[in-house]
Amino acid sequence: MFKALGATPVPVPWGEVYPAMKTGSVDGIETTPEGMVSTKLYEVGRYVTETQHINTVGAPIVSESFWTGLTPQQQAMIEEAIASATVWEREAMKTANAAATTSLTEKGIELIAIDRAALRKAVEPVWGRLTEKADGANDSVAQIRAA
């Protein structure tokens, strides 16, 4: 995606992002407003481009052997709990990101609004390469476009 936008992406372990930004080894990162506040990246970055292209979510993961070892009733209970937690988590992240955006503004960070339609158009060629590699990805892309 970043190559499609003309950037040169460099993978950096999350624990090294702050010092990489501070020393200028990298000049930008990809995170949510909440991520920028909780890691104090506002101390080393002065601008936020409001792309809204990522949504941090918590995803429960269990092994197949654990899952198949549960009774159907236990599986149903867990699925119900996950559905409920998903609704809560998405609202909590919206609230956290809104509060973080306010905090960033108060800290003097410049928020830059961009034309998201142009951004979407620029990265759309990447979708084809990604959907070729993952079963069901075309369905996900269709859902995203419909939303």
42 pLDDT higher than 80 = yes
Task: Name the residue with higher pLDDT: 128 or 41.
Answer: 41
Q: Where are the alpha helices (DSSP H) in the chain?
A: 17-23, 33-38, 64-68, 72-106, 116-131, 137-146
3-state secondary structure 83-104: HHHHHHHHHHHHHHHHHHHHHH
143 pLDDT higher than 90 = no
**Measured distance CA(82)–CA(75) in Å, rounded:** 10
pTM: 0.76
129 pLDDT higher than 90 = no
pLDDT at res. 12: 95
List Cβ neighbours of 128 (8 Å cut-off, separation of 6 or more). Answer: none
Confidence class for position 11, pLDDT limits 50, 70, 90? very high
> CA distances (Å), 23 to each of 16, 38, 60, in order?
11, 20, 36
56 pLDDT higher than 80 = no
Over residues 133-147, the mean pLDDT reads 83
- Sequence spans of domains, the chain: 14-114
Residue that the structure tokens 């601008």 belong to: 47
pLDDT at res. 45: 93
126 pLDDT higher than 90 = no
Give the pLDDT confidence of 57-104 residue by residue, as tens digits.
778 899 999 999 999 999 999 999 999 999 999 999 999 999 999 999
